[in-house]
Amino acid sequence: MNDNNTSPPLNYLTNGHTVKSWLLTVDHKRIGVLYLIAMTCFFLVGATAATLFRLELATHNANVLANDTYNRLFTMHGIIMVFFFLIPAVPGVLGNFLVPLMIGAKDVAFPRLNLASWYIYMLGGLFTLAAIIGGGIDTGWTFYTPYSSVYADSHVILAGTGVFITGFSSILTGLNFIVTIHKMRAPGLTWMRLPLFIWAQYSTAIINVLGTPVLAITLLLVLAERVLGFGIFDPQKGGDPVLYQHMFWFYSHPAVYIMILPGFGVVSEVLACFSRKRIYGYEFVAFSSLAIAAIGFFVWGHHMFTSSQSPYAGLIFSILTYLVGIPTAIKIFNWTATLYKGSVELSAPMLYTLGFIGLFLVGGLTGLFLATKALNVHLHDTYFVVAHFHYVMVGGMMMAWLAGLHFWWPKMFGKLYNEFWARVGAVIIFFGFNFTFFPQFIAGYMGMPRRYHVYDIEYQPFQMLSTAGAFFMGIGLIICLVTLVSSIFTGRPSGKNPWKATGLEWNYASSPPDTHNFTVPVKVDVEAYDYTDERIYQDA
């Protein structure tokens, strides 16, 4: 492999250099890279918005932004981060890259459809960017009616259309993954031998296929109301805005699992590798993903405890929300048990993963606080909620995403990043994150409402801490970005399996993989995460 006398064999990156060879590719690995590039750009847009309104919030009065600009910035932050980063990040990038490699297939089941998904995603993104450039949207990412339908004086139509279109990209990617995982596994790769990353992608794909169409039709009804004046959610015509909320959250609560389940998958892979142990209770971790996907469809009403929803319905939603905590807790316990007597190595991906477990634990438990009806009335729409979902989305999902990105980076680009700086980045992000969001729990508990631009001076210390923490986190992210990108140019070649990990992607495919993934026939005869298997320790 490192023989310099012969030119290296073509891999998926070197097989074709033209722009056209990238934009018309049907190779799942290249499509994964396309998602990575697009998604990083969207992330930077969303982060810029956050930087601006975080600056504004440092003091209690308005001195950086006008109130309308502030509204538009936090809306843009929410829409971009949720629909264009969190939801497609792990499936779009890591899922596309890894699902066929992990199951020993040459590609996903429908390669052209896969490329179409990326174009749909980009088209949705362009609509949303157009809305932003045209002046933004001020409804909040939830598009609540009648605000979004009647009263908002901003580009709801463009942004709504953008989100509507992007939804189909999720649906089609989900469909592709389900079929791929069902029909294209290598000989010997039974369901109970699958990596947990695959189980997680599979569960996510189910939610994508069954949940996203409901969001699509809901947004369509809002657009019909705004464009044509149909008034399905308009109280003046007898419509019910709470119906909108039901339909919106029927998708958007499961969407939380669309965001976090793929992260769970990443965590299982990284944790097993750097503890050098099989995931404790593999079956439980696998089926808990499916359980979360299933129960997650029946908890949406916990977003509406303070609306006109019946209190009895609220009670049931509250209980069901506790219930979904059980499979989630099973995962956390099993991951922790995996560490026990493992041979733990604190590499950069592992630091992110351990950070994930701690932060997601906080995010998940505060979710149970919010699922408690009586407490919810006090905490509803406060910074407590903001802190809670950022612990889940950023502390959970983003940490898992960064863990996965570091972990599979050598596989994707064939280069090792600088381990020292990667660890520095991970540690700074972890502390920066806590400085940013922990104070918001306290401010929220004291009663500070979310989405306010000018606020009571007693909350200022918390908001200042938050802003300072956010800049700290930003520095961490920049270090992380620079470390990864520079490794492409200056990193040492990683070799096939730098972490000595189990899994077909590490042991059968080179780094970066061949265009058709495998040069030898793949056959599986062992369980997942068999770290006693001698074969993974022999370098090819």
Cis peptide before 146 (omega within 30 of 0): yes
Handedness of CA 327, 328, 331, 336 (dihedral sign): negative
Q: Measured between alpha carbons, how far is 450 from 447 in angstroms, rounded to an integer? A: 9
CB of 82 to other proteins, least distance (A): 19
Q: One-letter amino acid identity for 475?
A: I
* Of positions 521, 534, 537, 538, contacts other proteins by CB under 8 A: 521
* Of positions 140, 213, 325, 447, contacts other proteins by CB under 8 A: 213
CB of 336 to Cu ion, least distance (A): 25
Closer to other proteins by CB, 224 or 365: give it.
224
Residue 255 contacts which entry, other proteins, Cu ion, none (Cβ below 5-8 A, type-dependent) = none
Q: Residue 337 belongs to what H/E stretch?
A: helix 311-339
Q: Measured between alpha carbons, how far is 496 from 519 in angstroms, rounded to an integer? A: 13
Residue 246 binds to Cu ion (criterion: CB under 5 A):
no
Q: Measured between alpha carbons, how far is 250 from 156 in angstroms, rounded to an integer? A: 21
Q: How many CA atoms lie within 13 A of 409 on its CB side?
A: 25
DSSP state of 525: -
- The four Cα atoms 95, 100, 102, 103 give a dihedral, to 10 degrees, of 130
Q: Cβ of 203: how many Cβ atoms within 10 Å?
A: 26
Binding pattern for the stretch 116-155 against other proteins, x by CB under 8 A and - elsewhere: ----------------------------------------
Residue 106 binds to other proteins (criterion: CB under 8 A):
yes
CB of 300 to Cu ion, least distance (A): 6
Residue 253 contacts which entry, Cu ion, other proteins, none (Cβ below 5-8 A, type-dependent) = Cu ion
* Of positions 36, 89, 107, 470, contacts other proteins by CB under 8 A: 107
Residue 183 binds to other proteins (criterion: CB under 8 A):
yes
Q: Measured between alpha carbons, how far is 435 from 453 in angstroms, rounded to an integer? A: 20
Contacts with 56 (C-beta within 8 Å, 6 or more apart), sequence order: 62, 63, 64, 65, 70, 453
Backbone angles phi, psi at 339, to 5 degrees: -65, -30
For the segment 227-266, give every residue that binds other proteins (CB under 8 A). 228-232, 237-240, 243, 247
Residue 333 binds to other proteins (criterion: CB under 8 A):
no
Residue 217 contacts which entry, other proteins, Cu ion, none (Cβ below 5-8 A, type-dependent) = other proteins
Q: Is the distance from CB of 154 to CB of 138 less than 8 angstroms?
A: yes
Q: Is the distance from CB of 36 to CB of 85 less than 8 angstroms?
A: no
User: By CB under 8 A, which span of 62-70, 212-220, 379-387, 461-469 interacts with other proteins?
Assistant: 212-220
* Of positions 54, 185, 226, 253, contacts Cu ion by CB under 5 A: 253
Closer to other proteins by CB, 486 or 507: give it.
507
Q: Cβ of 69: how many Cβ atoms within 10 Å?
A: 17
CB of 53 to Cu ion, least distance (A): 23
CA 306 vs. chain centroid, Å, equals: 28
User: By CB under 8 A, which span of 82-90, 150-158, 172-180, 262-270 interacts with other proteins?
Assistant: 172-180
Residue 519 contacts which entry, Cu ion, other proteins, none (Cβ below 5-8 A, type-dependent) = other proteins
CA angle 15, 90, 471 (to 5 degrees): 110
Residue 289 contacts which entry, Cu ion, other proteins, none (Cβ below 5-8 A, type-dependent) = none
CB of 191 to other proteins, least distance (A): 15
Residue 496 binds to Cu ion (criterion: CB under 5 A):
no
Residue 109 binds to other proteins (criterion: CB under 8 A):
yes
Residue 434 contacts which entry, Cu ion, other proteins, none (Cβ below 5-8 A, type-dependent) = none
Closer to Cu ion by CB, 97 or 383: give it.
383
Q: Measured between alpha carbons, how far is 159 from 136 in angstroms, rounded to an integer? A: 8
Residue 388 binds to Cu ion (criterion: CB under 5 A):
no
Q: Measured between alpha carbons, how far is 405 from 318 in angstroms, rounded to an integer? A: 35
Q: Measured between alpha carbons, how far is 325 from 367 in angstroms, rounded to an integer? A: 9
Site residues, other proteins (CB under 8 A) = 105-107, 109-111, 171, 175-176, 178-180, 182-184, 209-214, 216-218, 220-221, 224-225, 228-232, 237-240, 243, 247, 515-516, 518-519, 521
